[in-house]
């Protein structure tokens, strides 16, 4: 649970939109089709293995919720392995909120939709970026 709290603290404290100069990179479009409620927004973060749950994301983005759907696009992504996390920040405070017992109050998801008990693991969330644009759907 401490690891999940660390991930979310890093995710929200370092939530900044970044741009890369490499115009030849890949585009990754991420859709969350099942956001419960229309309040707040959905925060997204793109990580590589070195930053996953440890440091600021490679790129971060946020989306308003329209008809239960949130969607963002990461641009100029070089080839490599990445993982994506997302968080429904229902109250708009920029961080994940927790129950007294340490369980998350707000919904979250990761690439590959592996939602086991405990914090997301790199091996479950990673995917390969090659030379074609990608589109993902993450369930919360």
Match 């959905």 to its residue by tokens.
42
The pTM score is 0.81
Residue 97: give its domain's CATH number.
Answer: 2.60.40.10
* SS3 category, 123: helix
Tens of pLDDT, residues 102-132: 888 999 999 999 887 778 899 999 999 999 9
Tens of pLDDT, residues 13-37: 444 333 333 447 899 999 999 999 8
Structural domain boundaries, residue 121? 2-137
d(CA 25, CA 127): 16
Q: How many structural domains compose the chain?
A: 1
Task: Tell me what pLDDT residue 64 has.
Answer: 97
């Amino acid at each position: 649970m401490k690891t999940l709290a660390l991930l979310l603290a890093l995710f929200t404290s370092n939530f900044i939109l970044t741009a890369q100069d490499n115009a030849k990179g890949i585009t990754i479009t991420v859709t969350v089709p099942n956001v419960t409620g229309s309040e707040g927004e959905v925060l997204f973060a793109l990580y590589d293995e070195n930053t996953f749950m440890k440091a600021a994301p490679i790129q971060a983005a946020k989306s308003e919720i329209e008809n239960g759907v949130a969607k963002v696009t990461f641009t100029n992504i070089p080839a490599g392995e990445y993982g994506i996390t997302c968080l429904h920040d229902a109250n708009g405070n920029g961080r994940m909120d927790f129950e007294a017992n340490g369980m998350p109050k707000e919904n979250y998801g990761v690439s590959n939709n592996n939602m086991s008990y405990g914090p997301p693991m790199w091996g479950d969330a990673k995917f390969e970026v090659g030379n074609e644009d990608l589109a993902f759907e993450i369930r919360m």
